[in-house]
Amino acid sequence: MASYFKDIAPIRYEGVDSTNPLAFRHYNPEQIVLGKSMKEQLRFAVCYWHSFCSTGSDPFGGSTFERPWFEGGTALQLAEKKAEESFDFFSKLGAPYYCFHDRDVAPEGATPQESRSNFLHMVDILAKHQERTGLKLLWGTANLFSHRRFMAGAASNPNPEVFAMSAAQVRDAMDATLKLGGENYVLWGGREGYETLLNTNMAHEFDQMARFLNMVVEYKHKIGFKGAILIEPKPREPSKHQYDFDTATVYGLLARAGLEKEVQVNIEANHATLAGHSFEHEVATALALGIFGSLDMNRGDPQLGWDTDQFPNNVPELTQTLYYILQAGGFKTGGCNFDAKVRRQSLDAADLFHGHIGGMDVCARALLAAEKMIQDGRLAEVVAQRYAGWSQPWAQDVLAGKTSLDALADKVLQDNRDVLPVSARQEYLENLVNRFV
């Protein structure tokens, strides 16, 4: 029986006047926002890894957390205990989804067959917990970065044997995701990059990655998986140069592999800032390129240069992010996964709830502000007016490829008039957005 969270009651919505730290003040799952419930719009998920695998270690210190599933049994017994406790947490929090890596839920064995046996055993355990609780899987993925064999990458590894072992893990993780009703499958490379050009054949590694991606998509169709295949862009850390640096870079890889219509992106807020972008920039880029899929909701520390994976607390930033997503019709198969972890000094069981409650409330506030921005319509109207000139027939011909460079130059000379710039009104628009957040 689950016992770690036994003293914590299910988390409920109590409204903005509540002083209960273990209650939602803004996230009301059934509240209707733009025609859907808040639960449907945000599609919250809890990550298995940071919430139940994190030991509290950081780059300069070891474990600080003491969890009942960390020791006191065989590796599989502890995995079963961890699954039991995690579903107790999921249920009490009220999040509709969870996400996992294969090595989060099952221990790695001494051989590929033993690892696979452990994983298949735990997939059956997860299926029973899902049936018991009604919880759903937002996405599954394979851990192709932690084991030392992946120190030079997985799909981009110079050793074809490692490439093959990566394929074996991904196949099993995709099968598990299908069995568990997962709505997406994520390719999380982690170490797809290089540390020095002196030992790297970049063109060869690009070809390897393209082939790996194509094999994944081929297998998706073979097994009848209807969900989206997602890549999570990740810059710099841990490799010096990551091939999946940001959304635009991933799109370039997809275009090279001929998969820009088959694969989307799962965008993490902390990865966006590590790449030198804002979260909303990465989301807007993915929407513009037609590859937006899902979100990992976290934040980094501006004073630290690594992926700190903290729970979100920036309402204005998330408001703009959700505004663009809602404008585009909202999530399809994706959602808001909390790829965040409590700080290494946050030792208590309740701290896991505090982190998620705060993150969910911040997202709810941002969702409501984004709804008001859309209903107000002024921001969209300014953007539409700024590009209104392109609705003229001659400008439409330019976009449609019906006008040559010569013809366009001749038009300028025939019109024989200067073009005066107009204000972009940035300060006005920033003030407008601030009215809603």
> Looking at the annotation, which residues are catalytic?
101, 104
DSSP assignment of 102-171: HHHHS---SSHHHHHHHHHHHHHHHHHHHHHH--EEEEEE---SSSGGGTT-STT-S-HHHHHHHHHHHH
CA-to-CA distance for 12 and 29, rounded, in angstroms?
9
* Beta bridge partners of residue 194, listed in sequence order: 241
Question: Are the C-beta atoms of residues 162 and 149 closer than 8 Å to each other?
Answer: yes
**Type of residue at 354:** H
CA-to-CA distance for 141 and 130, rounded, in angstroms?
17
Place of tokens 């295949």: 229
Longest Cα–Cα distance of the chain, Å, equals: 84
Q: How many CA atoms lie within 13 A of 378 on its CB side?
A: 12
Question: Are the C-beta atoms of residues 178 and 228 closer than 8 Å to each other?
Answer: no
Measured between its terminal Cα atoms, the distance across the chain in Å is 43
For strand 184-187 and strand 228-231, is the pairing parallel, antiparallel, or unpaired? parallel
b/e map of 371-406 (b: 16 or more CB within 10 Å)? bebbeeeebeeeeeeeeeeeeeeeeeeeeeeeeeee
Place of tokens 């700190």: 308
b/e map of 336-357 (b: 16 or more CB within 10 Å)? bbbbbbbebeeeebeebbebbb
CA-to-CA distance for 237 and 417, rounded, in angstroms?
52
Phi, psi of 140 (to 5 degrees): -115, 165
CA-to-CA distance for 379 and 160, rounded, in angstroms?
51
**Type of residue at 364:** A
